[in-house]
């Protein structure tokens, strides 16, 4: 399987995700944001970081860069796309995923391991997990507060597009286990066709026990399946 | 030509920054200040002498970049 | 151009004698640009005029040191052709005036020091100190500083893996923000700032120059008065995004073999960077200021030379390599301009609009800068005080709770969770432990450990002991995780050096640091001095922040402070005498601030440290934590709270002896957790090493001390975690 | 009483956001837009009927919280 990681000025998890992809034997190419063409791949990754400084709105300026036309083409052809953290923000700004990521409710950057509930394991990104499995993956963001109008939220629920929700030790999804104020505790969603996932947690940060956990591996293992 | 652009959150969109400002004002004894909403304010210059054309450019920057219409409204004025 | 005279010199922070020395050195009156340049180079921050005479006392070499003090940062050999490059720097005054930007640009500045040398930064740490939590500005400053450190470090994508924070009313008017950064490079790819090669082009890269921070360096060398607000416009705004681009562009350029030397523009911007490069290379430098990329119109030579705009670098290139270099900076959307060349004049020559606006011998700015042997008075160890009476009626249960909920001992995750401490995916030990551990990228075994420490209350009581202790505490923290301590960097924060008592503190601390470093084979390879941390005549406690760095040979063996299982044995390594004066119990909880700090026996420090490392190496222990502020009880509680496993402690002591055993801050001690299986083996091993140890209890479900004290672990944990959250809500 | 408050960076203070926005506008073909400066825009309500008193309150919230006069200017208008 081949993967392209898009590098924007200000991306800073690009190397991290490349290491993780390669650990799971995905052949990985780094693609510069100004490129007008993108080599063929099965997967495109929009990495975390602060593309263009995340000034104005997170992910907004990245969503306008040259390479995004190629990424959209890839999406329309049914290719897989993962956007983690800033990548998720870029996907919503581009319109490939609905909603928007607002500033965390407490207005502070949060970096920590959180519990997540796998709400939907029938996506190409989560098939290695069990439904309702509780996993631990770190988050690290200032703007991860998922917001969408009621109609969109209904649609997300009806189409089973909500993939990951923040929960507590005991798998309970509630206000206390919501780190950033996201609607419905949403941590990750897919598009209708389920070939695009956006998630605030960083799976690439937990694929080795020395780094605090290995629950992120499931995402990559699902993909190579 | 110089413009000012206002980008504000739509009604109904939660504004944690505004809330935090409001609380903080309360904490320093300014509790009569209510309903704080925070938005963005830009000043920009447009290299264009025709006012209509300039306005079209400003509008298009708002739509394409400055505002995210899922959650924000914008308006602008010519100031010079 | 305004006329220069003694008055204008004084306005620039120069003294009458200094002004006269300038006249003598250049044989004429300086013009205003030249005066500005002199004032920038000769102020405390750049010239180290009060401290330089003493810094020479510090040991700076061992067999791993490749570069000691004097460069942008120090370099140590960590085997396999790898080097670690690190330094600490203060940004105290700017952070008091504008906490967010002050702290952010502090981080930006130290990062540039690291990547100028060819290293990719892999870890940041910080030591931040604020006034009393009740002081009206403290909350604002705390929030701003933490957000600023987070804002810059998170954006550029370097993990912030450790630090320390303290509240003490002595910092009410002078907070401390010390930022440290560690980078990684290849031994044969380290870059220095020594300019060479006549005619070689001097290039300016990075962001444009604006009017920000003009006279920032002089500000950092002036005592505050209550008019501090009026010094506001000198604060710079940081752009971490630009720095990220600059970092990537510089590292890319460094691969091309086009660079002769490189130097970041830090304090005193273009002035200090050009003068330092020329001075080190013993050459002259000529700049055409019309070529300096400016953000604003009609900037004067004076402004350009003194601006402290951030995210800029000065590079001497090999002749003919300009195009190749330019291409890289254009790719990263950064300014690139050839602004001058090296000359054999040994002068700083500046041209502007075809006129010469400055011509000063480099030596006058650098070597001839004033050096003062300030008067100082020796500060002796204070006499013991009688504290028995205060201890007799102490309610232990409540005191332990007060200890855990005191801002200085409360859980700090509110701070470090605002820092991305995992980016780069090599952080093997998160904040919240004794030392942070960060792997060497691409090497599955090797890692760097780092810790930052200081106990200013000890330094105030007896500077010499305090200086030693700060060094030893970082040493201990490194040993606790299983790292071999290698070298330190130091940030010396003091009050007004023109006062003999303050200078006495400085001298005492330096001597203490030197002694500890020498005996521990743990030299100083870089550092920074911040003086005049004084407002309305009230100085801070002497605060020599020490950043220690160690090498981990096998990262899979490192230990942390979390208890692992119930039913394991708990030992203390090192002798417990029960020294309470200057302890947290006395100083912070009982407000008894007199008496000597605990003394340090370097031989035990070495021996106990070695022992702990060998236990980790042999995999004989399950967890390890040093004993520092708060004494044995705090160490045990931290091990408990972080693991949710309790302990049963048998002190075999009563009354005030028990208080001393629990809260005493005797040095060179560690708590370790040992399974029954390893118990005998461990005891034998420690006997062979001739190390003092005692079995004090075991891990268990609940927390109990002797027969009479029981605690609810959940409640203690809550008390410990609550303070920062409540305070900042 | 309702006010709008503008908080803008002082002249000469670096505005990394404005700079980035300007570049981005250039990249999407709106290069005639120059000198973008970004500031904050608040709307606030004051629980006070006397206009002079209300203005004093708004001014004091600006000075104490909304603006950092080290690097920012503020102004405000009554809008309702
Ligand atoms: N300002 C800070 N930034 C990052 N980490 C911090 C900060 N303050 C404290 N910490 C972390 O919290 C933990 C406890 O700090 P401290 O009580 O000073 O430890 P110690 O006494 O072992 O030196 C350490 O891991 C430290 O790195
Ligand atoms: Mg420690």
Residue from A91, A225, D68 nearest C143 by CA: D68
* Closest ligand by atom to A111 CA: 1
Q: Where are the domains of chain A?
A: 2-224
d(CA B66, CA B43): 12
Decide the pairing of beta strands A43-46 and A80-84: parallel
Closest residue on chain D to B8 (Cα): D41
Q: What pTM does this model have?
A: 0.94
Sign of the dihedral through C-alpha D54, D60, D65, D71: positive
* pLDDT tier at D71, thresholds 50, 70, 90: confident
Tens of pLDDT along C531-580? 999 998 889 999 999 999 999 999 999 999 999 999 999 999 999 999 99
**Torsion angle in degrees (nearest 10) through CA of A153, A156, A157, A162:** -110
Measure in Å the smallest separation between the Cα of B75 and chain D Cα atoms. 12
Ligand 1 pocket at CB < 6 A:
C 126, 128, 160, 162-165, 412, 415-416, 431-434, 453, 477, 628-629
Tell me what the mean pLDDT of segment B18-35 comes to.
89
C640 in Cβ contact with C647 (< 8 Å): yes
Pair of tokens at residue C30: 């300086």
User: In C283-376, which residue ranges form alpha helices assigned H by DSSP?
Assistant: 301-306, 322-331, 362-365
Pair of tokens at residue C571: 């030992």
Query: Hunting for tokens 């090999």 — which residue is that?
Result: C318
Closest residue on chain C to D70 (Cα): C232
What φ, ψ does residue D75 adopt, rounded to 5°?
-150, 160
**Cα angle at C247 between C242 and C252, to 5 degrees?**
125
Residue from C568, C605, C583 nearest C698 by CA: C568
Of all protein residues, whose CA lies closest to atom 24 belonging to ligand 1? C432
CB-count burial class (<10 Å; 0-12, 13-18, 19+) for A1: middle
Name C362's Cβ contacts closer than 8 Å, sequence gap at least 6. Answer: C275, C278, C279, C283, C284, C285, C346, C347, C348
**Cα angle at A143 between A41 and C102, to 5 degrees?**
115
Give the per-residue SS3 of C523-553.
CEEEEEEECCCEECCEECCCEEEEEEEEEEC
D55 in Cβ contact with D5 (< 8 Å): no
CB-count burial class (<10 Å; 0-12, 13-18, 19+) for C389: exposed
User: In C582-630, which residue ranges form alpha helices assigned H by DSSP?
Assistant: 584, 602-617
C267 in Cβ contact with C217 (< 8 Å): yes
pLDDT at C218: 53
Residue from C57, C66, C1 nearest C30 by CA: C1
pLDDT at C221: 53
Tell me what the mean pLDDT of segment A164-192 comes to.
97
- Of the residues B44, B47, B65, B66, the best mutation for testing chain D's interface (the one with the most D CB atoms within 10 Å of its CB) is B44
C481 in Cβ contact with C557 (< 8 Å): no
pLDDT at C211: 85
Alpha-carbon separation of residue C91 from C44, C386, C666 (angstroms): 14, 39, 32
Cα of C561 vs centre of ligand 2, distance in Å, is 9
d(CA C724, CA A100): 30
pLDDT at C222: 57
A11 in Cβ contact with A86 (< 8 Å): yes
Please measure the distance between the N-terminal and C-terminal CA atoms of chain A and give it in whole angstroms. 10
What is the number of alpha carbons within 13 Å of residue B23 lying toward its C-beta? 10
| Residue C45 is a catalytic residue | yes
In this complex, which chains have at least 3 CB pairs below 8 Å with chain A?
Answer: B, C, D
Chain B residues touching residue D61 (CB < 8 angstroms): 25, 30, 33
CB atoms A61 and B65 under 8 Å:
yes
Residue C62 DSSP SS3: coil
d(CA C412, CA A223): 38
Tens of pLDDT along A46-76? 999 999 999 989 999 999 988 999 999 999 9
Strand order in the sheet with B72-78: B72-78, B2-9, B33-46, D33-46, D2-9, D72-78
CB-count burial class (<10 Å; 0-12, 13-18, 19+) for C485: buried
Using the atom order of ligand 1, give the atom closest to the CA of residue C629.
21
Chain A residues touching residue C439 (CB < 8 angstroms): 210
Tell me what the mean pLDDT of segment A69-94 comes to.
97
d(CA C335, CA C325): 11
pLDDT at C217: 47
CB-count burial class (<10 Å; 0-12, 13-18, 19+) for A131: exposed
Q: For a substitution probing ligand 1, which of C144, C168, C412, C638 has the most ligand atoms within 8 Å of its CB? A: C412
Give the per-residue SS3 of chain A.
CEEEEEECCCECCHHHHHHHHHHCCCEEEEEECCCCCCCCCCEEEECCECHHHHCCCCCCCHHHCCHHHHHHHHHHCCCEEEEECHHHHHHHHHCCCCCEEECCCCCCCEEEEEEEEECCCCCCCCCCCCCCCEEEEEEEECCCEEECCHHHHHHHHHCCCEEEEEECCCCCCCHHHCCCCCHHHEEEEECCCCCEEEECCCHHHCCEHHHCECCCHHHHHHHHC
Of all protein residues, whose CA lies closest to atom 13 belonging to ligand 1? C432
Neighbours of ion ligand 2 (CB under 5 A): C 434, 477, 626
CB crowding C458-479: b at 16 or more within 10 Å, else e: bbbbbbbbbbbbbbbbbbbbbb
Please provide the CATH number assigned to the domain covering D2-79: 3.30.1280.10
Pair of tokens at residue C525: 């390879």
Give the per-residue SS3 of B20-73.
HHHHHHHHCCCCCEEEEEEEEEEEEEECCCCHHHHHHHHHHHHHHHHCCCCCEE
Cα of C712 vs centre of ligand 1, distance in Å, is 24
Alpha-carbon separation of residue D44 from B52, C84, C285, C654, D7 (angstroms): 32, 52, 56, 62, 13
Whether chain A has a CB inside 8 Å of the CB on D20: the answer is yes
C119 in Cβ contact with C169 (< 8 Å): no
pLDDT at C1: 45
Pair of tokens at residue D20: 């980035």
Please provide the CATH number assigned to the domain covering A2-224: 3.40.50.880
Strand order in the sheet with C447-453: C427-429, C436-439, C447-453, C543-552, C484-493, C524-530
With residue C352 as reference, give the H or E element that holds it.
strand C347-352
Residue from C303, C236, C245, C215 nearest C111 by CA: C245
d(CA A88, CA A46): 8
Tell me what the mean pLDDT of segment A141-168 comes to.
96
**Cα angle at A60 between C151 and C415, to 5 degrees?**
20
Alpha carbon C458 to chain centroid, angstroms: 18
> Which segments of chain C have a pLDDT < 50?
1, 217, 227-232
Cα of C373 vs centre of ligand 1, distance in Å, is 36
Residue from C95, C243, C233 nearest D9 by CA: C233
Tens of pLDDT along A1-43? 999 999 999 999 999 999 999 999 999 999 999 898 999 999 9
ipTM score for this prediction: 0.92
Instruction: Residue C602: count other Cβ atoms within 10 Å of its Cβ.
Output: 18
d(CA D75, CA D67): 10
Strand order in the sheet with C201-206: C259-264, C312-317, C201-206, C335-343, C284-288, C347-352, C355-361
Cα of C454 vs centre of ligand 2, distance in Å, is 11
């Amino acid at each position: 399987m081949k993967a392209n990681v898009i590098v924007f000025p200000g991306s800073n998890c690009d190397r991290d995700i490349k290491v993780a992809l390669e650990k799971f034997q995905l052949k990985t190419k780094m693609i510069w944001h100004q490129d007008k063409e993108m080599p063929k791949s099965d997967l495109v990754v929009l990495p975390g970081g602060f593309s263009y400084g995340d000034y104005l709105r997170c992910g907004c300026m990245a969503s306008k860069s040259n390479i995004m036309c190629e990424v959209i083409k890839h999406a329309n052809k049914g290719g897989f796309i993962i956007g983690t953290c800033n990548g998720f923000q870029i996907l919503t700004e581009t319109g490939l995923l609905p909603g928007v990521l607002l500033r965390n409710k407490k207005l502070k950057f949060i970096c920590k391991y959180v519990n997540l509930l796998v709400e939907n394991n029938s996506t190409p990104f989560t098939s290695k997990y069990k439904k309702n499995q509780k996993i631990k993956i770190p988050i690290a963001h200032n703007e991860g507060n998922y917001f969408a109008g009621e109609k969109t939220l209904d649609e997300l629920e009806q189409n089973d597009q909500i993939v990951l929700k923040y929960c507590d030790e005991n798998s309970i999804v509630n206000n206390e286990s919501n780190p950033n104020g996201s609607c419905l505790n949403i941590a990750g969603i897919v598009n209708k066709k389920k070939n695009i996932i956006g998630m605030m947690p960083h799976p690439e940060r937990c694929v080795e026990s020395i780094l605090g956990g290995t629950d992120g591996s499931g995402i990559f293992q699902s993909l190579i399946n | 030509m110089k413009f000012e652009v206002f980008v504000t959150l739509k009604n109904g969109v939660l504004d944690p920054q505004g809330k935090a400002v409001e609380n903080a004002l309360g904490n320093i004894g300014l509790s009569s200040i209510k309903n704080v909403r925070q938005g963005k304010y830009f000043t920009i210059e447009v290299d264009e002498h025709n006012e209509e054309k300039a306005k079209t450019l400003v509008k298009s920057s708002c739509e394409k970049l400055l505002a995210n219409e899922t959650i924000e409204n914008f308006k602008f004025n010519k100031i010079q | 151009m305004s006329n220069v005279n003694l008055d204008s010199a004084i306005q620039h922070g120069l003294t009458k004698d200094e002004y006269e020395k300038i006249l003598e050195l250049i044989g004429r009156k300086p013009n205003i640009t030249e005066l500005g340049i002199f004032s920038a180079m000769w102020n405390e921050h750049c010239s180290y005029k009060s401290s330089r005479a003493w810094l020479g006392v510090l040991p700076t070499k061992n067999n791993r040191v490749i570069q000691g003090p004097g460069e942008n940062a120090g370099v140590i050999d960590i085997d396999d052709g790898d080097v670690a490059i690190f330094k600490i720097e203060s940004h105290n005054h700017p952070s008091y005036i504008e906490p967010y930007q002050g702290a952010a640009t502090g981080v930006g500045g130290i990062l540039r020091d690291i990547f100028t040398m060819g290293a990719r930064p892999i870890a940041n740490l910080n030591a931040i100190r604020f006034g009393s939590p009740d002081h009206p500005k403290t909350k604002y400053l705390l929030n701003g500083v933490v957000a600023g450190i987070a804002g810059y470090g998170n954006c550029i994508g370097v993990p912030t893996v450790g630090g320390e924070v303290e509240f003490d009313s002595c910092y009410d008017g002078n907070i401390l923000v010390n930022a440290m950064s560690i980078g990684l490079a290849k031994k044969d790819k380290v870059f220095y700032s020594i300019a060479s090669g006549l005619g070689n082009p001097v290039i300016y890269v990075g962001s444009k120059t604006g009017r920000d921070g003009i006279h920032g360096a002089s500000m950092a060398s002036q005592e505050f008065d209550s008019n501090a607000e009026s010094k506001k416009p000198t604060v710079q705004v940081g752009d971490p995004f630009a720095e990220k681009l600059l970092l990537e562009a510089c590292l890319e350029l460094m691969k091309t073999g086009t660079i002769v030397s490189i130097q970041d523009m830090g304090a005193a911007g273009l002035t200090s960077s050009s003068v330092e490069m020329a001075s080190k290379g013993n050459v002259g430098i000529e700049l055409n200021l019309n070529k300096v990329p400016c953000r604003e119109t009609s900037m004067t030579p004076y402004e350009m030379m003194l601006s402290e705009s951030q995210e800029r670098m000065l590079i001497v290139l090999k002749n003919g390599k300009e195009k190749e270099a330019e291409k890289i900076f254009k790719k990263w959307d950064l300014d690139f301009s050839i602004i001058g060349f090296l000359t054999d004049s040994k002068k700083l020559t500046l041209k502007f609009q075809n006129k010469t606006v400055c011509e000063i011998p480099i030596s006058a700015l650098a070597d001839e800068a004033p050096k003062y042997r300030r008067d100082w008075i020796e500060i002796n160890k204070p006499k013991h005080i009688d504290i028995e009476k205060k201890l007799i009626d102490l309610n232990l249960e409540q005191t332990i709770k007060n200890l855990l909920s005191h801002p200085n001992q409360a859980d700090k995750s509110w701070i470090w969770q605002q820092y991305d401490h995992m980016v780069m995916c090599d952080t093997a030990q998160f904040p919240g432990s004794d030392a942070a551990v960060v792997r060497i990228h691409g090497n599955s075994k090797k890692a760097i450990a780092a810790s930052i420490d200081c106990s200013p209350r000890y330094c105030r009581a007896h500077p010499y002991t305090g200086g030693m202790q700060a060094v030893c505490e970082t040493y201990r923290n490194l040993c606790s995780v299983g790292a071999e301590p290698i070298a330190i960097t130091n940030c010396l924060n003091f009050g007004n050096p023109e006062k003999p008592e303050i200078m006495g503190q400085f001298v005492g601390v330096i001597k203490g640091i030197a002694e500890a470093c020498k005996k521990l084979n743990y030299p100083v390879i870089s550092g920074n001095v911040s003086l005049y941390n004084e407002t309305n005549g009230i100085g801070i406690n002497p605060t020599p922040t020490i950043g220690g760095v160690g090498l981990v040979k096998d990262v899979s063996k490192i230990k942390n402070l979390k208890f692992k299982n119930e039913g394991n044995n708990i030992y203390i390594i090192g002798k417990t005498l029960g020294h309470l004066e200057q302890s947290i119990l006395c100083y912070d909880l009982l407000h008894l601030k007199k008496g000597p700090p605990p003394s340090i026996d370097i031989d035990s420090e070495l021996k106990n440290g070695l022992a702990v490392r060998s236990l980790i190496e042999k995999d004989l222990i399950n967890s390890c934590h040093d004993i520092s502020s708060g004494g044995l009880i705090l160490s045990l509680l931290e091990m408990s709270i972080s693991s949710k496993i309790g302990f049963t402690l048998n002190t075999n002591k009563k009354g005030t002896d028990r208080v001393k055993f629990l809260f005493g801050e005797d040095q060179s001690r560690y708590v370790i957790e040992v399974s029954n299986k390893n118990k005998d083996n461990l005891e034998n091993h420690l006997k062979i090493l001739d190390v003092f140890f005692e079995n004090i209890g075991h891990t268990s479900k609940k927390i109990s001390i002797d027969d009479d004290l029981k605690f609810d672990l959940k409640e203690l944990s809550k008390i410990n975690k609550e303070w920062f959250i409540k305070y900042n809500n």
